[in-house]
A and B are shown apart, each in its own frame.
Chain A
Amino acid sequence: MRTAFIEQLIEEAKIHDNIFLLVGDLGYSVVESFARQFPDRYMNVGVAEQNMAGIAAGLAMTGYNVYIYSIANFPTLRCMEQIRYDIAYPMSNVKVIAVGGGYSYASLGPSHHATEEIGMLRTIPNMVICAPGDPVETRFITKWSANYNGPVYIRLGKAGEPVVHDSENINIALGAPLLVSNQNAKQSLITSGSMLHPATTFVRENGICADVYSLPFIKPLDKKAFVEFFEKYSHIISLEEHQASCGTGSALLEVMNDLYQEKLISSMPSVKRIAIPDKFVSVSGDQDYLRKIAGIVLKIEDFI
């Protein structure tokens, strides 16, 4: 995903001369090509994320569309207040890019696990929150972000995530669920970020009749698009690599409840929410192992 991101960002920087990339001394073997091609619009600001977020806000005030790039918690939690007050509040044209969403950097331990940042950022007004599901979605979102004037968070995986979409030619509507695998089923599985591949694989390998969706935009959610979604399915499973609190499943439950209260849907489907149950994982292992330890795996009995 990080490769898809940087390749697309390079393409966008060729078209948009206002794109500026700041890195917090991370991005080895990822950012070099951008730095070579656009030396005047690239800077390594050092291991100082609060300052990086502030510099981004300042650069944005001079007309740049600024991308700040680092690992997981560093461009997010470490500078959350700068994001809230200097970027989100004045609607700065800053894109926060975290590589290594969820347990991508599994064995590096909780310091490198991004498992709360969506929740924290989701509560901040003006923020658009994205978690593309595969490299194809990553390219789409990156392109979209180059044309969007405002604060955005993009959670990427790491490297080597498989391509899930059959075609590069996808169209993601802001805040709408993206149908990835359609069986005209009565139940659906909706994922955010790089849980998309394990989801489609599980459904296919187990011969389960369920439509699979990706939710690349976690905020804002398009209520109209979700009316159709909640009317269509009697059972929904949400799957995410994030704490259950304030994550994607949480956002779905909120919008479902609101739609029901506003009488825009006639009933509420059952929702099985699979997310990290309020815990840190401090054992070593690869990403799949940590997902199992955290309990964010699908089981046959989750489906009807």
Chain B
Amino acid sequence: MTENKNVELLATGIRRIALELVYKSRSSHIGGALSMADLLSVLYDEFLRITPETVKHPMRDRFILSKGHACTGLYAVLALKGFFPMSELDVYAQNGHHFLTHATHYVPGVELSAGSLGHGLPIACGLALGARSKAENWRTYCMVSDGEMDEGSNWEAILFAGHNHLSNLCLIIDYNKIQSLGFTKDILNLEPLSDKLKAFNWNVIEIDGHDYSMIRQALKVAQIEKNKPSVIIAHTIKGKGVSFMENELLWHYRNPNEEQLKSALKELQI
């Protein structure tokens, strides 16, 4: 599987950095950073037309991380892709620095400050509408969590994007099945999610969010859709890659101790 070598390496790097950041800062939300690592990896390695040199270029693709609490994953991929020196992450969550524990637009490469759920997608709709109205061909990607789909503002935006045929918009749902206080299906069941989104006139693509070939294929399908906004429902595992974190609500909150960090990094074969 040589075609996946680069994205695998990048995803492992994202997981490593995210783990180290939450360990050092004793912060939360590692589970949701690990669940989206593979998606971020394919996006940043193969699809997003944005580089450290084009970070402010008007024709760059826009990536909006709406699940801002999982920012360690985003900061990691941006550092690995050279948007800022890796050493800058040393000040993550430290007094007096911009590296907040929710994604912040003061960090190079981060388009939007996020943290309050249900904000990213309406903004992504505005970006997509702006690109279309200016006849520019850059694309907007927006990553949301499954718990975040409880927010009414997302469904306003879903209705809007479908009605307005925003085919330059791609929504990615990191469907890791766990939200703040338990399983998504028990708290506010989203199912049948695919049918709902189809009914809202979206191009719906459902994949395993840890299968690089499927992620790649889904993003390609989204790119060629000319009439509807696309949504990739990515079935993922919260805490993916670290067995004792996988599918465990606890790791929405807890940060690893030294021994747990070592064990996690060992599993990632670092």
Contacts and interface: CB of A to CB of B under 8 A. Distances in A.
B160 interface: yes
Is chain B's interface secondary structure helix, strand, loop, or mixed overall?
helix
Interface residues of A, number: 29
A208 to B, nearest CB: 49
Contacts of B122: 50-55, 57-58, 82, 86
Nearest to A55: B126
Nearest to A56: B126
A58 B125 contact: yes
B127 A58 contact: yes
A227 interface: no
A41 B129 CA distance: 10
A63 B118 CA distance: 23
Given A81-B116, A82-B119, A89-B113, A58 B126 contact: yes
A54 B115 CA distance: 14
Is chain A's interface secondary structure helix, strand, loop, or mixed overall?
helix
A46 interface: yes
Contacts of B157: 51, 54-55
A59 interface: yes
B111 A61 contact: yes
A253 interface: no
A204 B123 CA distance: 50
Contact of B153 (A50, A58, A64): A50
Nearest to B122: A54
Given A54-B122, A57-B126, A61-B127, A48 B116 contact: no
Contacts of A89: 113
A60 interface: yes
Interface stretch (B45-53, B130-138, B182-190): B130-138
A58 B122 CA distance: 8
A39 B3 CA distance: 46
Contact of B133 (A41, A57, A85): A41
A62 B127 contact: yes
Given A53-B122, A54-B122, A58-B122, 8 more contacts: A41-B133, A54-B126, A55-B123, A55-B126, A55-B129, A59-B129, A62-B126, A81-B116
Interface of A: 20, 40-41, 43, 45-46, 48, 50-64, 66, 81-82, 85-86, 89-90
13 contacts: A48-B159, A51-B157, A55-B160, A57-B122, A58-B126, A58-B129, A60-B126, A61-B62, A61-B112, A61-B130, A63-B130, A85-B116, A85-B119
